[in-house]
Structures are given as structure tokens and as C-alpha cells.
Structure 1
Amino acid sequence: MKKIHFNDIRIRNKLLLIYMFSVFLPIILTNIIFYIVTTENVRDQKLEDYELALEQIATGFRQGVEDAAGIASVLYSDAYIYRLLNKTYETPVEFIAAYNNNFRDINKYTPIYSSVDSIHLYTDNPTVISAGGIYLINQDMRKSYWYQSTGNTRMSYPVLTRNVSETGVLDQFVIVRELDSNHSASYEKIMMINLNERFIKQAFTNVTFEGQVYLVDDRDIVQYSTDQSVDSDNKLISFDSLNISEDSVIMEEKYQLQFLNNWRLVGIIPSENLITEVQNSMYSIVYLASWNFVIPTLFILYIAGNIHFRLNTIVKQMRKVKEQQFDIIEGKMYKDEIGVLASEFNRMTRKIKDLINDVYIVRIQKQELELEKKDAQLKALQSQINPHFLFNVLETIRMRSVLKSEMETADIIKYLAQLLRTSITWEDDWVTIGKELQLIYAFLEIQKYRFDNKMEYEINVDDGVEQIYIPKMIIIPFIENASIHGIEPLKGKGKINITIQKYENMIKCIVKDNGVGIRDEKYKQIINFLEGEGVNGKNIGMRNVSQRLKMYYGQDYQLKINSNATDGTTIILMIPENNDKMNPGPQ
């Protein structure tokens, strides 16, 4: 196997290899490492933010419960409340009097603490009236969830649990406390502080925590959740029975208070939330990596392409030398090594060409000079017939016609001489509309003479337009077509109407005849011919006008052709108004 030496590799490929190992691979590796480090940092920061948000939720809920538990402790030591529920009343009036004296101020705490909604008292004292926040404990109530779940614990300290609505659905969070401080009372007395539902929703709502929150009691029952799929109000649901994705991130905040002993707040973060943050950081990294990649890549490709192009140009010129084409390299000769090589090649090529010219080409040049000399002599002979000779002959014929009183013939000869002189002696490319009208009048008189009064014409010109400059002889070709192709084949008498008027800042020229019109197929050929690049000998005048209009006005002119067999043909030409012969129009 043949070994490839580094010097055998083309310069462009060498530069690309340098780029690959010195720029591309380092950038790729650097950005991969940067991406890994950044994504880990973003993930850790996001988890830390979620932990802080969950801690805020736990703290807010705990503070509200502590406020309610504090009220429960105050009322627990209130002797008036104890005596109100523990006394046996002889009559209802006696209870009402005691109620008014000892219970009406009990709800004074609810406006102070936003977490407290209301305060209720429960007792099995049969002499107490069940109304106004005081309820009797019966057998159904002893079977309720809040009564069963607090058990003997409420005798020692306040207990957090759930109340039950009339429909049997778990309702408000409540703080329950037994009021029997000495355990020797005659009747059972229980205090219930209802927590505000708005406080519960606000406590567990945190916009910065992008996941679901679950409040789990000491029996692993979900007491409250922001997860809409968990129906914790209608049935008791174990937290372990929840279907939690393995990719989710689980966070916990445990409560160490007596009334929240072994309760915990669990936050579930879907893995998609963390991935989204990582993806957002990935986009930034990809953007920066692309920027660092594109600029050096374009620069290296430009340098490599420039070197390859210049060297390839020299190689192509050197190969032409084998075919005896001694062309020099055009362009600026720069001062780098490639520029010096190109300069030396040009110097060598000129030297070879000079040597060849000295030996061979001189003879060929002499022969070409002889041929050119003979050609010049031939053209000199042909030019002996001078156009002025034709003008003089026509003038002589016209004068003889005048002497013979043949005025009609004399006028026609005058018009013919005027047309020939104008077409042969071009002089200026721009003339006034007045001079163009003189030429048009001469042409129409000749045509009228030819057709033996078969043709009539009418020229209408607005005032003030005769001094405006237009390109020379741009209207006559259309009049010629109208007379020859429109009027001449017509069986009856024909007429040509010519109108020149100002239209805003444009000059509008209308050439209308009542001739035979243009056949559809011929009409399409003319339109395609005017828009194309071909040459048609039959329409060279119209083609010449179209090309001149494009040269002078670019796209600022309009040329329309309307024709049918009934009304004849109408040419509408609109060109910009111009009053300056020195600056006639767009170039």
C-alpha cells in the first residue's frame, strides 16, 4: 500500500485538516463539557428553588394551624367556657343567660387570624340548647371521622383533622381539643376551631412550585392535594396507592409539632419540568457553540477558497500555454507568495509572446495590412455615390415639376426628400414634437398621394406640447403600419387619427386607424416579438422603436396595441414628459 505523504495533500485539504484539529474538535469538546456542567448546575438550582417553595408552603400552613392551636389553648384554660358546658341548667332561660354572658365573645378571635373561620363547641350535656355554635354530641357524631380520628389524643393537646359535611364528604380542616382539663367532669366537652378554606387554598398555592402538593397525615392518608386527579374529599386515599412516575422528583417537609406529629408535606415535581429548564439552557449553549463554530468556519473556508481559487487560476493559465494560448492572469498582483508566482507567470508569458511575435506573427500582420488596404480601397470606390447626390437629383426633379406647374408632384418630391434626409442624416437622437410632426405630415402626404386619396388623416395636438423633446422617429413606424397593413388592404376609404396630448406628467400618443385590423395569430406574434429578443424583418421598425424606448426610459414607458377586424387598430404610447434636450431621459 502506497503511503501518502503530508506534502502530497492539496493545500485546501491541509487547511481543512488544520481547522478540524485546531478549531472544530476543541470547540465541540469544550461545548459538550460546558453543556454537562451547565445542565447539572441548572438542575441543582431548580431543585433548590423547588425546595424553598415547598418550605414556604409548609411554613404558611404550619403558621395558620399554630394560630388556631393557640386559640384552642387559650379557650382550653377559660373557666367560663368550661362552666358554660359543664353546668346542669334547670330551664332553657337559665342556659340562654349563661350563653349570653360567656359565649358571645368567643368568636372575637376569628377576625384577628385569617386562618380561623369559626369556633364551635360540642357537649353531651342534655340541658344545653344546640344553637349559635354549640352542638350536642350524639351517637352519629361519635361515629364521625373527626371524632374517631382524634380519639384520646384530643384530651392531651389540640389535634388537626377533617370535618365532615352533611353529605358525608370530608370538609374543612379543624383543630379539635377536649375541654375536660381535670378528667372528672360530668359531661363531655369538645372545642372545634374550623380553619378558613381560603387560607388552605392560598397556603398550598405557590406559583414557583411547578408540581403537585400532598398533605399526608400520620396514618399515610392524603388529607389535601393540589392534584385534581386525587379525590381526597370523597374517600380516604393512601399516599402509597398513588400512581407516581418513577422519573418524578419527590420532596418532603415533615412537621414535628404535637398537633401535626408525623404529618408531612410531599411535593411531586414531574421530570418534564426539569428537562424543560435543561433544554432552555441547551438552546443557549447551542447558540453560543454555533456562533463560535460558524465564524471560524466561514473564515477558514474563505481563506482556503481564496488560496485554492488563486492557485487554480495559475494552473489553468499554465495549461493554456500548452495550447499556445499565452493569456496573462488578470487582476491585482498581491504581495504574498501566490501573488509573486502570478506576477512571474505573467512576465514569462509576455516574454514568450514577444518572442513568438518577433518570429511568426509579423508576417501575418503584413498580410492582414494588405487585405485591409484593399478593403479600404473598395469602400472608397463605393462611397463615391454620395447621399447628397440623391438629394440634389430630387431637388432638380422638384424644380422642373414646379416649372411645369406640376405642384402636386413637386410637393410629393419635397416630402420624399425631407424623409430621406432625416433618415440618412441622423444627427441628434432627440427632436421636438413639432419637428416630429413635420416629418409625420410629410409621410402622410406621400401615403395619401400613393393611395390616390383613398386615405385621410387627422392630427390633433394639445397646446404647449410641440416644444417637448421625444426620441426621433418613434411615432412614424406605427403610422406606416397603419397605412400599409391597415388602410391599404381596406376596400373602402380609410382614415388615420393621430392624437398627441399631455396626461399628468406623461406624453400620450394615440395612432388609430379604421383598417382591417390584425389577425389574432399575427397579433400574438407581434406582442411576443416586441417582448422578445429575436429579429423579425417585417416588423423591424416597431422592434427598433421598442428597443429605443427601453434604452431611453427603462420601464417608465407604456406601449399598448388594441386591434380587431371591426374597429381597426389603435396604438397607445405613453412616455415621460421632457423639456431638456441636454438631459433627454433615463439611460
Structure 2
Amino acid sequence: MKLLRTTFDHVRLRDKMLLLYFLCVFAPVVLTNLIFYHVTSQNVKEQRMQDISRALEQIKVEFYREFEDAMEISSIFYTDHQLNELLEQTYPHPADYIAAYDSYLRRMLNNTYSPVYHSVGGITIYTDNSTLLNSGGISFIDERVKSLPWYGKIPPGRQSKPIFVRTDDGTGEQLHPFSLIRRMNYFYSQNGREKILKIELRMSSIRDIFHNLNLQGSLFLLNERGDIEYTTDSKININAKAVAYNELQLPKDTIEFKTHYVLTSNLNGWSIVAVVSGDEVLYGMQESRNFVLLLTCMNMLLPTLIIVWITRSLNVRIHRILRYMKKVKNQHFELIPGTESRDEIGQLTGEFNRMTLKIKRLINDVYVADIRRKNVEIQRRHAQLNALHSQINPHFLFNALETIRMRSLMKHEDETARIIHNMARIFRKSLVWNKDRVTLREELELTRCFLEIQQYRFGERIRYEVQARPEDLDYLLPKMVVLTLVENASIHGIEPLKHGGCIEIHFEHQEERLLLTVRDNGVGMSVEQVQRLYSYMQSQEEMGERIGLQNVIYRLKLYYGSRFELAIRSAPGEGTEIRIMIPADWE
């Protein structure tokens, strides 16, 4: 818990306010609305599924009622004794048949049942009694009738069960109508006559049943074999041949609803299947989703505006205080303008202004006086240093070296004279510090003097190579930086080798930067030595009495701060390469 609190203390105020907003407003509102949307969507989906199932059950019941009406009519015809006697009787003259037809058959076939049962489209009795007239609901069983598909499906024998099939009588209907067909053999026939009753259902009533407005989708009436007997899908042609429902290629997002006829005469095993698009089921869910989204936006808009307004009031004023604090750090003591507010930030602003005024007065009263006192101390130390210099009197040393050089020239010892001359130049340059930065040309002249002295000492054991373009010789760099690097390479890198080595000095100007490279093939340095040199880059100590490369790093930090780069590549026995990159300042 303490670690979490410490970590949270480092988070910016604006980020804290955003975190507070997301955790306390955004996330709870979104989570609550997601749960609400999920629950509502599930309820809507379940309700829609129940509505579709109820509509399917309603279709099932209404269709079965149509079928039961036909069954009831067929039972009346099947068990009517007088009807069977009239159909069995032989009529010598057509007038006799007409009289019998008008007395009973017309009432049975046309007037009694059709108006009552509006779902019946027509009643036809087929018989092989040739004394009957082929009209008024009576038809002969001839070769044409026997060739019809439904005729072959009638089971033989007494007490035959009715069949429920679609019949095609060549009327050109788009969908063949349903018919209930059964043999009228309830009574014994002395003449052995065949009588068949066909009750045709009205297809308009069937269409009204299956085109239920509460069910948007395709409906399929399947027989016990799974073949489609009726469908609301106009793309499927079931008149030409039997179409199995399982062979249909339904879209992937469809949902099936199925209801079965169980323990019902003649329709046992039949079923009604509704194929509904998933979008239709989820339509109500989409409306619920839109409502939830609207509610979420309304719940988030007002809190968001309030939090943004409060956050801006805090964040802007705190950043203004921070900006003026940075100015104070850079010794610009400016007061924060504006009237002081009564909240904590306003009190902080007022205290900052009073503190700034007090610091400004302290600087004027104390710091300036302290600077004057330090300037006096610096001048006193300069006086002591000048006194020491005057005691040593370096001009005496320069004159002595010059006298030795002249005597060497008189004795024709030109090489000795040249080396003494180089030593005098190095000695003079090292003591004269009226300027701390010199041109690259001056630094290279001093470096060549040192290298010539080294060659005088070691002969062919030491070699050197200097590469610098003439147009780069006027760039400035701190005094004796190159000389110190070359001295380290000579003394610590080359001298320990018996066979000697080579020192390469390379200068290059790259995009407003000056790259200095000093490379030798000497004994090299260990990893610890390289890391120690790198540590000088991070050290904040005063210069003290440090010398050599440490002195160079200190002076580069003093002049350029973080604008210079140092890279050291060395390994024991592989030599050393030191690369220094500084800003390119022109004289």
C-alpha cells in the first residue's frame, strides 16, 4: 500500500484527474449500461423467441382445425346410409337420378356443409356407377382419374383410413391444394361399386393461416418423411418433385423454430418449421442497444463537462505557478498576475508572490554584498599567484633555453636546437593562460612540438599521423585538450611497447559539430579503466588537483556541459581510441 501511494505521488495532477474520471465516472457508467444492455437484450430476445413460438403454435392449431373440419365432413359422408344407397342404386333413366340428386345429393354436396365449413373448397365423390351423371360433385372413375397421383396412394381394403395429400387436377394452381381422400366402404356394396370421397381444402384459408403477421420469415409444413408439403418461400417449387427440408441451403444467421403434431390421426409425425433471420430476432435488441447508447451518452455528457471544467480550473493555475517557479529558478523574479482566489491554489499563488518579493530583497541585500566580498577574495588570490609567478620569473627559464638553443646552432647541433625550441614553446604555452580556448591550428602546432620531442627520445619506435582539413583549422577548442590525449597515448600506450607504435590524430567537421579522434595501437586499457574514465563524466566534484584525461573531461564539462560527447574504445593489447565531439565554434 505504501509503495502504491508513493508511486501515485509521482503521477501528474492532470493524469490523476483523468484517472479519477475514468475510474469513478466513465468505467461505472459504461459497466452499468453494459449490464443493463445485456439484461435488457436477453429479455427482449427471450420475449421475441416466445412470440415466434406462440405464433407458430397458433399456426399449428389453426391448420389442424382446418384438417379436423375436413375429417368431420368425411366422417359424415362416410357413415351416411342414405347417401351410400343413392350411390349404389342403378337408375334406369337419367330423370330418376336427377330426382334423387335433387332430393338428397344436392343438399349433401352443395348446400349443407360448404357454407358451414368455410375452409372446404369443394367436395367430390368419385364412383364407377355409370347410371349417375358426371356433374354436381359426382365424377366417374375413369382412366384419367386412375392415372392421377393421389389415386394410387389410396390404401385398399375395408375400413380404410383417409389420406391427406396435395392433389393436382390440372387446374394450373401455383401450389397444389390439400385434399382429404378416403374410400366410402363403410357399408357393404352388393354391386361391388367403388366410391371415393375427395374433400379439397380452400388454399386461400391455408395461405391466411401461414402468412401470420407476427412471424416474419419462411414457414415449412413437413410430412412424416421430412418432405415439404407447403411453404411460404416462393423460391421453392414443390409441385415438380418432393423437396426434403434437410437438403435446403439456409443462411448461416437463421434461427429455426419447430413444432410437431403428436398423437393426431393422419397428421402424426408432421411438423411446422419457421426459419427466421437472426436480424429479425435481434431487431428488438438493436432498438434496446440504441436506447442504452443514448442513455449512456446522456449520463456521461454532464459529468464530463463538469469534471473538465473543474480540472481545467485546477490544472491551468497550477501550471501557471510552475511556470513562474521555473522563471525564479533562472533568476527572473516575476510575480504571478491576477487577483488571488480563496481556494488553496489561490493561497499558494499569494504565498509564492510574497516569497518571490522576499527572495528578491534578500538577493539585493545579502547576495550582492556576498558577491562583492568574494570578488575581493579572488583579487587577493590573484595577487598572491602573481607574486609567486614573479618569484619564479619564467622569463629566466625561457631565456636560458633560448641560450642553449643558440649555442647548439653555433655547434651545428640542429636537431638538439630544434628540440629545445619545441620545449620552450610548450613551456611558454602551458604557463600563459590569458585565453583558455585556442584554434585548431595552434593546438596542432603545440602537439607537433610534443611529438617531435618524443621522436627525439624514442627514435623510430614512435610514429604519428595528423589529418585535418585546412578549412577546419580556425575552429576553437579548449587549450591543450589534444596535447593531453596525445601525451596519454604516447606515455601510457606506446612507451611500454618494445617495438614502438603509431599515434593517429584525426579532425572532422560534421553538421555543426567537431569530431576529434586520437587512436594508438599501444597496450590498451582494461574494462575497469575505461569505466573509471566514463565515471568522470557523471562526477560533480570540483577540479582540485586532477591532471591528464580527467582534467580534460572536467574542462569539457565546464565549457560545454551536456553538449559534448565522449566515446572510448579500448582492450588490452588492442590499443585505444578516444573520440570527442564538441560544438563547432568559429573564431
Q: Same fold (TM over 0.5)?
A: yes
- Native 8 Å contact 2:81 2:187 kept in 1: no
Asked if the contact 1:220–1:239 (Cα under 8 Å) also holds between the matched residues in 2, the reply is yes
Q: Is 2:182 aligned against 1:180? A: no
Partner Cα separation in structure 2 for residue 314 and residue 267 of structure 1: 72
Q: Does 1:54 align with 2:56?
A: yes
Equivalent of 2:147 in 139, 143, 150: 143
Count of aligned residue pairs for this structure pair: 356
Q: Show the counterpart of 1:23.
A: 25
SS at match of 2:180: strand
Deviations 1:157-196 (A, max 9, x none): 4432222132687622122232221354521112222211
What aligned pairs does 1:243-392 form with structure 2 within 5 A after superposition? 243-255=249-261, 256-320=263-327, 324=332, 326-331=334-339, 333-346=340-353
Paired amino acid for 2:218 = Q
Q: Give 1:221's match in structure 2, choosing from 224, 227, 250.
A: 227
Aligned to 2:42: 40
Given that residues 164 and 181 in structure 2 are in contact (C-alpha distance below 8 angstroms), is that contact kept between their aligned partners in structure 1? Answer: yes
Q: Distance in 1 between the 2:297 and 2:279 partners?
A: 26
- Provide closer, same or farther for how the CA distance between residues 114 and 259 of structure 1 changes in structure 2, counting only shifts above 3 A: same
**How far apart in 2 are the matches of 1:348 and 1:277?**
66
* Matching residue of 1:464: none
Contact 2:158 2:185 in 1 (8 A): no
Q: For residues 172 and 273 of structure 1, do their structure 2 counterparts lie closer, same or farther at Cα, with a shift above 3 Å needed?
A: same
CA positional deviation for 1:131: 1.0
**Other-structure match for 1:128:** 132
Equivalences for 1:466-545 in 2 at 5 Å? none
* Inter-CA distance 352–225: structure 2 relative to 1 (3 Å threshold): same
Does the aligned pair in 2 maintain the 1:117–1:194 contact within 8 Å? yes
The one-letter amino acid of 2:91's match is Y
1:207 alignment partner AA: L
Check conservation: 1:317, 1:329, Cα contact below 8 A: no
Q: Is the 8 A contact 1:119 1:133 kept in 2?
A: yes
What is the identity, as a one-letter code, of the residue corresponding to 1:286? L
In the alignment, which residue of structure 1 is the partner of 2:70? Answer: 68
User: Could you report, residue by residue, the CA deviation over 1:232-291 in whole angstroms, capped at 9, with x for unpaired residues?
Assistant: 233322222222345422222222321322222111122232243333332223333333
8 Å contact from structure 2 (residues 158, 186) kept in 1: no
> Against the structure 1 CA distance between its residues 292 and 167, is the aligned structure 2 distance closer, same or farther, given a 3 Å change threshold?
same
Q: For 2:101 and 2:128, locate their aligned partners in 1 and report how far apart those are by CA, in whole Å.
A: 16
CA distance in 2, matches of 1:263, 1:248: 22
Q: Distance in 2 between matches of 1:314 and 1:168?
A: 93
The CA deviation string for residues 441-466 of structure 1, in whole angstroms up to 9 with x for no partner, is xxxxxxxxxxxxxxxxxxxxxxxxxx
Deviation at 1:342, TM superposition (A): 2.4
Change beyond 3 A, Cα 1:149–1:284: farther
Distance in 1 of aligned mates of 2:156 and 2:273? 27
Alpha-carbon distance between aligned partners in 1 of 2:35 and 2:326, rounded to the nearest angstrom = 51
Verify the 8 A CA contact 2:183 2:195 in the aligned structure 1: yes
Aligned equivalents of 1:154, 1:343: Cα separation in 2: 115
Q: Secondary structure at the match of 2:124?
A: strand
Instruction: Find the aligned partners of 2:295 and 2:188 in 1 and give their Cα distance.
Output: 74
Measure, in 2, the Cα distance between the counterparts of 1:156 and 1:40.
Answer: 51
Q: Deviations over 1:473-513 (max 9, x none)?
A: xxxxxxxxxxxxxxxxxxxxxxxxxxxxxxxxxxxxxxxxx
Give the whole-Å Cα distance in 2 for the aligned partners of 1:220 and 1:152. Answer: 25
Letter in 2 for 1:160: F
Match of 2:168 among 154, 159, 164: 164
Note if contact 1:177-1:191 (Cα within 8 Å) is conserved in structure 2. Answer: yes
Closer/same/farther in 2, CA of residues 206 and 153 from structure 1, 3 Å limit:
farther
Deviation at 1:309, TM superposition (A): 0.7
Output the amino acid matched with 1:282.
R
Q: Name the structure 2 match of 1:117.
A: 121
Aligned letter for 1:171? H
Q: Distance in 2 between matches of 1:160 and 1:188?
A: 19
Q: Quote how far apart the aligned CAs of 1:292 are.
A: 3.3
Report the RMSD for the aligned CA atoms in angstroms.
3.1
Q: Equivalents in 1 of 2:209, 2:281: separation in Å?
A: 24
Query: 1:93 Cα deviation (Å)?
Result: 1.9
Answer whether contact 2:258 2:271 (CA < 8 A) is retained: yes
The equivalent residue for 1:204 is: 210
Distance 1:251 1:143 in 2: 38
Distance (whole Å) between structure 1 residues aligned to residue 341 and residue 20 of structure 2: 24
Matched, 1:242 2:248: yes
Matches of 2:87 and 2:35, distance apart in 1: 73
* Cα distance in 2 for residues equivalent to 1:346 and 1:224: 91
Distance in 1, matches of 2:37 and 2:119, equals 46
Residue range with higher mean Cα deviation, 48-57 or 293-302: 293-302
| Residue aligned with 1:190, SS | strand
Distance in 2 separating the partners of 1:234 and 1:320: 94
Percent identical among aligned pairs is 36
Paired residue secondary structure (1:218):
coil
Rg larger for: 2
TM, length-normalised to structure 1: 0.55
Partner residue in 2 for 1:82: 84
Whether the aligned pair in 2 keeps the contact of 1:310 and 1:338 (CA below 8 Å) is yes
For structure 1, the residue ranges without an aligned partner over 5 or more in a row are 359-587
Mapped partners of 2:332, 2:292: distance in 1: 58
Tell me what 1:408 maps to.
Answer: none
The DSSP-based 3-state class of the residue aligned with 1:164 is: coil
Q: Deviations over 1:540-575 (max 9, x none)?
A: xxxxxxxxxxxxxxxxxxxxxxxxxxxxxxxxxxxx
Amino acid at match of 1:174: S
Quick one: structure 1 residues 299 and 274, their matched pair in 2 at CA, closer, same or farther if it must change by over 3 Å?
same
Contact (CA 8 Å) 1:27, 1:289: kept in 2 or not?
A: yes
* Secondary structure of residue in 1 paired with 2:239: coil
Q: Secondary structure at the match of 1:171?
A: coil
The C-alpha deviation readout for 1:55-97, integer Å capped at 9, x for no partner, is: 1111111112212222222222222221121112222222122
